[in-house]
Structure formats: structure tokens, C-alpha cells
Amino acid sequence: HRMDSDKIYAAISCYLLLGIFWALIYALTEEIDPTSFGRVMPQWGGSFSDLIYFSFCTLTTLGYGDLVPHTAVTQTLSYLEAVSGQLFVAILIARLVGLNIAQMAHDRRTGENE
């Protein structure tokens, strides 16, 4: 299979969907236990946009710390998301880039062009 930009775009889309998926899981935990999350600042409204924000901060391991998991379940989910986000980038994206570089080198050697 030839490596093309569509595969890279698909991987980016999967990464973004991964963040939304985790936000949905956090919304479910918040629905079951409204004390699952808390803000350092008292204006936590429990909105889905706050959970998307938390999810992407966790997925990228940015972690501002202004929205924090309060229960063991949400703490566990948070570290699982952080690990999955890092593995996604380290394994899938690195593999796609490596395949792209190898394909470009092969094309140069053989004189092939897209």
C-alpha cells in the first residue's frame, strides 16, 4: 500500500475522536457521580465543553490542573487516557511518518513519482 496524506489525515481524525470518546466517558462518570470532577476555581458548571477541555488536556498530557478528577474512577480513567494518547502518538503517528520516509526514499531510488 502506498502511503499518502489521506492516511495521515485519518490518523489525525482518530486522535481527535479519541479525545471526544474520553469526554463522553467522563460525562457518563459525571452523570453517575456528580462529584467526579472539581475545579480549583469554584465556577465548575459540569458542562460537556469542560469535559472536552479536560479530555484533550489529559490526552495530550498538558494538564493545566484547573479541572481535576476527584474520585478513584476518574483518576484511573485520566491516567488511562494520558497513556493511550501518548501511545497513539508514539506508535501510530511515528509509524506513519516512518512509512512515508521509507516510501519517499524508495521512490527516489527507483525514480517513481506520484
Closest CA to 61 of 38, 85, 37, 77: 85
Please give the model's pTM, rounded to 2 decimal places.
Answer: 0.81
pLDDT (tens digit per residue) in 9-65: 898 999 999 999 999 999 999 999 988 988 876 666 678 998 999 999 999 999 888
